[in-house]
Amino acid sequence: MDVIFEFFNSDDLIYYLVIPFFSGFVGLVTNYIGIKMMFSPIEFVGIKPIFGWQGIVPARAGKFARLQMEQVEKIIDFQELINRINPSEVANIIQPGMKELTEEIIDEVASESFPLAWENTPNFIKNRFYKRLEKDLPALFDNIYYDVRDNFDSMFDAKAMVIDRLTSDKSILVDMTRQTVHKELGFLVKSGLYFGFLFGIVQMIFWYLFPDAWYVLPVGGFFVGYLTNWIAVKLMFHPLNPIKVGPFTLHGLFLKRKDEVARDYAKSMTTSVLNAQNIAEYILKSSAGDKIYDLVNRHVKKTIDNSMGFGKPLVLATIGTQRYIDMKNSAVDRFSNSSASLPKSITNGLVYTEQALDLENEIEIQMKKFTPLEFDGFVRPVFEEDEWILYAVGGGLGFLAGWVQFVAMFS
């Protein structure tokens, strides 16, 4: 009792009482800065390899992307998803645009390959050829689709695509992570204030009892910064299973909102990375693009031959076999490289494909089925290996803040 009486009658009482509030402020600021340092800057700033900083998440984009896809591949069968696509439906959707594009290419190629003969060809014959070609387009789409479907595993590497996407544009990974754990990050910042204040009370008591121990405030600041981060992160993921304590239920904050996290993660992953547009572009730009070209080459040439019908011998006699072959090669090249026109004609087809794959809903449904342990294993490994950096940053900043507090108030 005497100690308490002496404390409240101390000449430095106001300075002692400031310590918990200052510690709460330090906890808040260190946690805020620690989170900023997790995500910023996107690229390394400074002099490599030591003097400078890059956000923890973007610095380890490749590792994070690999860990994420290892988890996604456990719940998503891309081969099964591709089977959901109805090629006839795709053909019906994109046929009008493809019909117009095909006629343009045929006119252009024929005019270059045998200009006089094509110019003198009556329109009713050209229209007959166009209609025959239009009739053959659905079969062309079917043949290309089934060839792609049967070889999809060898053409598409989901893990490689996601890693390539997230490492080439690290801001995507940063945005995805923030959107998925935004509530936990908010709790992490606020908890610094609450726990910092509580630890500050302990710090205040030690400083009062040992006024000559100059290291109390700096060392105490280190523990405030370190422990506030450590406790906050532990509360995010522990306990794994709900524990009833009187009227309260203890459960890891992140795990408690599993359904919401599943929805946010599925949306951000499919919006930014795993969608029909990105998958199609990746396949065409990868080594599998050559296989696609070979498929298109074979089926387009076959379709042209079929569309010629009984008129093929006459065409060969008129322009020669080699020029006919050159014409088909030119048509395939124009068809494959029509980057200005082709995307517009297949946009609606990609929308249908997106709906048929339904990746967002599939990922969300499968994640909601996770047990707490499985859900923890889906997300936690992304942070676990490097979360010590967050603790160390909090401790270091707390130590510096403790020195500032000692010099400003008690030196």
Assess if residue 115 is contained within a domain.
yes
Length of the chain: 411
Q: Give the amino acid at 314.
A: L
Instruction: Name residues of the chain where pLDDT drops below 50.
Output: 339-343, 345
Assess if residue 305 is contained within a domain.
yes
Q: Quick one: 62 and 175 in the same domain?
A: yes
CA neighbor of 39 nearest in space, from 218, 168, 173: 173
pLDDT at 253: 83
User: Quick one: tokens of 20?
Assistant: 């918990």
Q: Quick one: 338 and 287 in the same domain?
A: yes
Q: Quick one: 178 and 246 in the same domain?
A: yes
Alpha-carbon distance of 402 to 399, in angstroms, equals 5
Q: Quick one: 319 and 209 in the same domain?
A: no
Assess if residue 186 is contained within a domain.
yes
How many distinct structural domains can be found in the chain? 2
Assess if residue 385 is contained within a domain.
yes
Assess if residue 254 is contained within a domain.
yes
Q: Quick one: 82 and 55 in the same domain?
A: no
Q: Quick one: 185 and 235 in the same domain?
A: yes
According to DSSP, the residues that pair with 45 across neighbouring strands are 53
Q: Quick one: 7 and 113 in the same domain?
A: no
Q: Quick one: 188 and 66 in the same domain?
A: yes
Assess if residue 161 is contained within a domain.
no
Alpha-carbon distance of 220 to 215, in angstroms, equals 8
80 by Cβ neighbours in 10 Å (0-12 / 13-18 / 19+) ranks as exposed
Domain assignment of residue 340, given as a range: 78-155+271-364
Q: Quick one: 67 and 83 in the same domain?
A: no
Assess if residue 162 is contained within a domain.
no
Q: Quick one: 211 and 174 in the same domain?
A: yes
Q: Quick one: 60 and 181 in the same domain?
A: yes
Decide if 52 contacts 46 (C-beta within 8 A).
yes
Assess if residue 33 is contained within a domain.
yes
CA neighbor of 238 nearest in space, from 184, 174, 175: 184
